[in-house]
Amino acid sequence: MATTPAPKTFRVKSFGCQMNVYDGERMSELLAADGMSPALEGEDADLVVLNTCHIREKATEKVYSDIGRLRREDGSAPLIAVAGCVAQAEGEEIMSRAPSVKVVVGPQSYHRLPEMVADAAAGKRATETDMPAEAKFAALPKRRKSAPTAFLTVQEGCDKFCTYCVVPYTRGAEISRPFADLVEEAKLLVAGGAREITLLGQNVNAWTGEDDKGRSIGLDGLARVLAADPDLKRIRYTTSHPNDMTDGLIAAHGELEKLMPFLHLPVQAGSDRVLKAMNRSHTADSYLKLLERIRAARPDIALSGDFIVGFPGETTSEFEETLHLVDAVGYAQAFSFKYSARPGTPAATMPDHVPAVVMDERLQRLQAALNRDQLAFNQASVRKTCEVLVERKGKHPGQWLGKSPWLQSVHFTGEAEIGQIVTVKLVEAGPNSIAGQLV
Ligand code: 5AD
Ligand code: SF4
């Protein structure tokens, strides 16, 4: 491979989950600390990092089409690095299938990105997909400026092994970042301007650690410590597994004012046979009972979930049990997907894969129900007054965009500034946003 000039500008494109968004921010900070600058809007970057997602099939194909699209009109291409879960799972295949990719780096090794980019510019393609237990986080530069809302990865990996899912293979075993590191990173984020922090993890509510007195604590304990910072106004967390919703965390929803009344708690399906085949280790009923306890602690909590339709062997009546569960819960928002067979997962070799047309039809029925509930949830907010954290300017002059405590997007006009918490009366609801008036 020929040498190329060392890249001066970069762009990081993140796909998939919020943890990838966090990793993408950390990679940007790392490249900036190494002396590169982010490419301006519309400007060609010397280095493009594709921070990929492997959770569903289309995501992988998207990476290859993105690589193709990076080719410039004169036939040249930027230096391309593939990071994230596709890099972890298919690093070698990418290296042989896409010669324009010079760096492949997995989610546990991206602290090595600058040296790998330098190697690549010097003519040496490099792959790094080890999953060392040693802390990548310690090797990253300290956080500086933040938006009013910031992500903080507190936990990585998954030990649950749902039979459809690649995460336990691409992100590895569950690990919790140490308490002291998280407290320090949160402080820096708040000092940089963050007013809301979303704690992230593939199984965020499985986070455990030891506080400064050596006591063993869970996510609720961490949230309580972070909430003591007067400049931090809001705390959220995602994604949670039903089995890790501890009594302490449920209680915290009733006690901790800064813990926002919103919970993303995936259920995936409503049929107990399907849930068992998915290795979910909860039933529809145990999930509903759990929600009852959470609602007892925080009656106004907004619920969100993930759903998969067309898991191998799912019958029409089993799918309809998912619809019944949706009716029983009344989700404020949700994500729903067609089952996608992932190589190496147990479900991929299960019998009776559901035909694509059947999956399409089930997804449409499910999404119609979820959209109906989302609109109903937003409409039920109308005439209420709530606090909105202002995140950015809207499209129209004088317009501002922010979030309600229940994670609804709210827009309003008037005197405000980014990072401020304002009181807004909600006046008109659509499926995806609510119009408000400053009070
Ligand atoms: N097919 C479809 N959806 C999947 N998810 C995870 N793996 C698959 C798969 N193989 C969905 C789950 C999970 C969300 C992040 O992605 O609903 O909660
Ligand atoms: Fe995947 Fe299940 Fe782990 Fe979530 S809990 S990351 S769906 S294996």
Q: Specify if 371 maps to a domain.
A: no
CB 392 within 8 A of CB 419: no
- Expressed in angstroms and rounded, the spacing between residue 160 Cα and the centre of ligand 2 is 6
CATH number at residue 403: 2.40.50.140
- Expressed in angstroms and rounded, the spacing between residue 114 Cα and the centre of ligand 2 is 31
| Sequence-distant (≥ 6) Cβ neighbours of residue 139 within 8 angstroms | 111, 112
Which residue, judged by its Cα, is nearest atom 6 of ligand 1?
A: 165
Whether ligand 2 lies within 6 angstroms of the CB of 163 is answered as no
Listed residues 131, 166, 190: the one ending a domain: 131
Q: Specify if 336 maps to a domain.
A: no
Task: Give the pocket of ligand 1 (CB within 6 Å).
Answer: 55-56, 164-165, 266, 268, 306, 308, 337, 339-340, 342
Range of the domain at 423: 385-438
Q: Specify if 335 maps to a domain.
A: no
The pLDDT tens digits of the residues spanning 327-355 come to 999 999 999 999 999 999 999 999 999 99
The pLDDT tens digits of the residues spanning 103-143 come to 999 999 999 999 999 999 999 999 999 887 667 998 899 99
pLDDT score for 134: 66
d(CA 329, CA 122): 57
Q: Specify if 230 maps to a domain.
A: no
Q: Specify if 158 maps to a domain.
A: no
pLDDT score for 73: 86
386 is in an annotated binding site: no
User: Own/partner pairs for 62-68, CB < 8 Å, 24+ apart?
Assistant: 62/15, 63/15, 63/94, 64/97, 64/98, 66/13, 67/98, 67/100, 67/101
Listed residues 106, 131, 156: the one ending a domain: 131
348 CB neighbour count, 10 Å cutoff: 15
pLDDT score for 60: 75
| Sequence-distant (≥ 6) Cβ neighbours of residue 164 within 8 angstroms | 278, 308, 311, 339, 340, 342, 345, 347
Mutate to test the pocket of ligand 2, among 155, 158, 169, 240 (most ligand atoms within 8 A of CB): 158
Q: Specify if 267 maps to a domain.
A: no
The pair of three-digit structure tokens given for residue 288, joined into one six-digit string? 């509903």
Q: Specify if 148 maps to a domain.
A: no
Listed as ranges, residues in the chain with pLDDT below 70 are 1-2, 133-134
Q: Which ligand is nearest to the CA of 174?
A: 2
What amino acid is encoded at 217 in this protein? I
pLDDT score for 18: 94
CATH number at residue 37: 3.40.50.12160
The pLDDT tens digits of the residues spanning 64-111 come to 999 999 998 888 899 999 999 999 999 999 999 999 999 999 999 999
Whether ligand 2 lies within 6 angstroms of the CB of 175 is answered as no
Residues found in the chain: 439
Whether ligand 2 lies within 6 angstroms of the CB of 162 is answered as yes
Listed residues 131, 148, 180: the one ending a domain: 131
Q: Specify if 84 maps to a domain.
A: yes
pLDDT score for 75: 85
d(CA 154, CA 218): 11
Tell the burial category of 86 from Cβ atoms under 10 Å away from its Cβ (0-12, 13-18, 19+): buried
Which residue, judged by its Cα, is nearest atom 4 of ligand 2?
A: 202
- Expressed in angstroms and rounded, the spacing between residue 77 Cα and the centre of ligand 1 is 33
CB 194 within 8 A of CB 147: yes
Single out the residue of 325, 346, 345 nearest to residue 334, CA to CA: 325
Mutate to test the pocket of ligand 1, among 18, 21, 54, 55 (most ligand atoms within 8 A of CB): 55
How many structural domains is the chain composed of? 2
pLDDT score for 216: 97
- Expressed in angstroms and rounded, the spacing between residue 64 Cα and the centre of ligand 1 is 21
